[in-house]
Amino acid sequence: MSRETVNLICAELPGTERVAGPEGDDLWTLAHEPLVRIGPEVQVREGGGWVALPPMSDHDLRERIVVAYEALRHALPGDVQASLDRTSG
């Protein structure tokens, strides 16, 4: 699970944005809400908190990130959700 792989996965998701996180971490957001944090470990936002991901295949990593993305996206107001389709990562 390299930083490059995680960044590529996140960049493909509509409406995501990479911003500088604390201590040099990469932080991916969706509509200004944190989604994925990449530092010494990869963390995804699930249930309002951060979950550190264990080592896994790129396929499984993509699935975990997409599940977190979809959960966060569905929690956003409808007009914000609609605007995400008009933006790119």
Of residues 85 and 70, the one with the higher pLDDT is: 70
- Whether 15 and 86 have beta carbons less than 8 Å apart is answered as no
**pLDDT tens digits, one per residue of 20-58:** 887 888 999 999 999 999 999 999 999 889 999 999 999
Q: Is position 87 within any domain?
A: no
Q: Is position 35 within any domain?
A: yes
Closest among 61, 66, 65 to 1, alpha carbons compared: 61
CA distance 88 to 2: 22
Q: Is position 13 within any domain?
A: yes
Provide the residue range defining the domain that includes 37: 3-75
Q: Is position 69 within any domain?
A: yes
Q: Average pLDDT, whole number, for the chain? A: 90
Q: Is position 49 within any domain?
A: yes
Q: Is position 86 within any domain?
A: no
Q: Is position 89 within any domain?
A: no
Q: Is position 27 within any domain?
A: yes
CA distance 38 to 4: 10
**pTM of the entire predicted model:** 0.87
How many structural domains is the chain composed of?
1
pLDDT exceeds cutoff 60 at 74: yes
